[in-house]
């Protein structure tokens, strides 16, 4: 699909891969981070092909919220020693970049 070539889609896909490979050692934080990052990716995939501004806003808001949740899960996992600093910062930075992209797409 053409939207799969867009930067925001590629960044969301990279986030899912990074979280999946992160090896979060706490079961709950791992589960939350995985589910939230997948939610980001799927909301982006649903929102991009929509022509309705309202529907795009709905999906991109969901994606941005899930990016915040993913970031929080990485931060929490790092705080309890279940994720190394470098990986946690990488995930949180990816989430921040995605949140900025999504906010711009909602304007």
The CATH number for 84's domain is 1.20.1440.60
How far is the C-alpha of 41 from the C-alpha of 52, rounded, in Å?
Answer: 19
How distant, in Å, are the alpha carbons of 40, 65, 82, 97 from that of 55? 15, 15, 37, 22
Mean pLDDT, residues 37-44: 98
pTM over 0.85, yes/no: yes
Cβ neighbours around 96 below 10 Å, total: 13
Percent of the chain with pLDDT over 70: 100
Half-sphere exposure of 65 (CA within 13 A, CB side): 7
| pLDDT(10) > 90 | yes
Q: What is the pLDDT of residues 53-68, one digit of tens each?
A: 999 999 999 999 999 9
Number of domains in the chain: 1
Instruction: Identify the domain containing residue 38 by its residue range.
Output: 2-105
How distant, in Å, are the alpha carbons of 13, 18, 61, 85, 93 from that of 88? 17, 10, 23, 5, 9
């Amino acid at each position: 699909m053409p939207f799969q070539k867009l930067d925001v889609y590629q960044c969301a896909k990279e986030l899912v891969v990074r979280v999946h490979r992160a090896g979060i050692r706490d079961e709950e934080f791992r589960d939350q981070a995985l589910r939230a990052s997948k939610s980001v990716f799927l909301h982006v995939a649903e929102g991009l092909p929509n022509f309705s501004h309202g529907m795009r806003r709905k999906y991109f808001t969901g994606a941005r919220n899930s990016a915040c949740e993913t970031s929080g899960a990485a931060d929490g996992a790092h705080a309890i020693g279940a994720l190394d600093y470098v990986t946690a910062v990488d995930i949180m930075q990816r989430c921040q970049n995605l949140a900025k992209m999504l906010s711009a797409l909602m304007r």
